[in-house]
Amino acid sequence: MISIGIFTGYYPYTMAEVIRRIKASGFNCVQLDVTFKDFDAAKEPLTKKKANEIRDAFREADLPIVAVSAYTNFIHPDPDVRKKNIDYLKMMMRYARDLGCPYVASETGTYNRESDWVWHDKNASPAVFEETIEIIRDLVAYAKEWGATFIVENYVNNVIGSVEQVERMFKEVGCDHLGLICDPTNYFDENTIQDVDGTLNHIFDRLSDHMVIAHAKDINLTEDLGEKHADIDADASHTFRGSGAVELPAAGLGILNYDLYVKRLAEKHPNIPLIIEHLDEGDIDRAKRFIVDTLKRVGV
């Protein structure tokens, strides 16, 4: 059966309280954001001792960590910002095994200086694509050194966004210590959203073999073309709700064909963890119920 988890970052509390609330909501795995009120890896260096403390707390609670978040814009055009972002991502790779999970997740980023999710025309240039591939090669080599695996979350406004770009990434870098987060909502723009089922099938027909974990959010067409964020106590990666013509609400609040999504997901990954996101704490129970009902209906 597909298991249901959640990002820890949607709970703005100390680690102990985060664990208590996730258990109370009935989840059986998590994607780990190392951003608790009593420890934040973005503000103070992670150590082996602290990583083991976090790992053991989630193990004691019987909440397996299925991926470690390290979301950052590693193609940022400012070289100092880029180095800082890459160093952060590498730090999470270095301690991934100590945190209990080898999978370390990030998007590829954008040349936009103001946002990690807003399009920039340079994103489409062959030179920037190759620059991104070179960084991914370096990250994958570093991950291998530490027994980690870099799992990419593509996004349509980032350098690597389309099915074809993801395919090219694996062709040029290889599959060793490189994986893919299955999040079909990240492929939709004002064109692909006109054919939701066709886009879903295209994603799974071409990329299923690379998928490691999956995410659960939704899509809607919107007239608000700006960058959209929710007013919640969370990092920007968790307040983000879309940029451009497609907004990204919580699962069950949009037009994504979830029956088709989980059916295709389960074909090659019958036990994959499905991680709920893009919601506020008050909507967690509803979103989880929606996912449970969908999985029961489809029989996966």
pLDDT in tens, 106-158: 999 999 999 888 999 999 999 999 999 999 999 999 999 999 999 999 999 99
> From CA 159, how far away is CA 34, in angstroms rounded?
26
What does the pLDDT read at residue 116? 87
Asked whether the beta carbons of 238 and 117 are under 8 A apart, the reply is no
Q: Which of 150, 204, 206, 158 is nearest to 179 (CA)?
A: 150
What does the pLDDT read at residue 109? 95
**Residue owning tokens 């006109």:** 194
The segments of the chain whose pLDDT lies below 70 read none
What does the pLDDT read at residue 286? 98
The pTM of this model reads 0.97
What does the pLDDT read at residue 153? 98
Give the right CATH number for 3-220+250-298 from 3.90.79.10, 3.30.710.10, 3.20.20.150, 3.40.50.2300. 3.20.20.150
What does the pLDDT read at residue 93? 98
